[in-house]
Amino acid sequence: MIAVVGHPDLSASTLALMEEELRSRLGDFARAGRAGLVRAGKGLPVAFGRAARKAGLALVTVLPSRNGVPAQLAELDRKAAGELLLLSQQVRLVEFDPGDRGACVSADESLLRNCARVFAVWDGSPSNGRDVTAHLVAYARSHGVDVEVIWPRGAKHGIA
């Protein structure tokens, strides 16, 4: 599996840039029969899903669940989750509360442990109360997962 982690506040222009960058990097993995793994949400997960589809990479989308039933996502993530479901070849339900930051981080850690490679869309900044990208990069590396950091020229945080 190949996963993506990254900043939750990427500008629209950066997301478009990342979609193209990821598409070019995912082609070899698609030809090798690998699959991409993404936790449903807006922003980078959708860019990764679109890139995976364009590259021919099978996509697995993870949805939160409670007692085996899909949990309701935040309003901003619902539309993104719908698009990811349409792009996916497989959906996995994982028990966690999408409204609990700690539960989301634990779910991400669990998913990363099962990956061979992680693309980290990361500017090198430390984790803070909202953005745990640095933590997830360190976590993946500490578990022997190959991490490739991507932060191309022109990438920005915030609104485009």
What would the pLDDT profile of 12-57 be if each residue is shown by its tens digit? 999 999 999 999 999 999 999 999 999 999 999 999 999 999 999 9
Which residue, among 158, 160, 146, 154, has the nearest Cα to 25 in the 3D structure?
146
Q: Looking at per-residue confidence, does 98 or 159 come out higher?
A: 98
Region 132-159: mean pLDDT is: 93
Give me Rg for the CA atoms of the chain.
14
Q: Quickly list DSSP for 74-109.
A: PHHHHHHHHHHHHH-SEEEEEE--TT-HHHHHHHHH
| pLDDT over threshold 90, residue 160 | no
Rounded to whole angstroms, the Cα distance separating 23 from 72 reads 29
Region 8-12: mean pLDDT is: 93
pLDDT in tens, 46-96: 999 999 999 999 999 999 999 999 999 998 899 999 999 999 999 999 999
pTM score above 0.75: yes
Which residue, among 139, 98, 89, 94, has the nearest Cα to 115 in the 3D structure?
139
What is the longest distance spanned by two Cα atoms in the chain? 44
| pLDDT over threshold 80, residue 129 | no
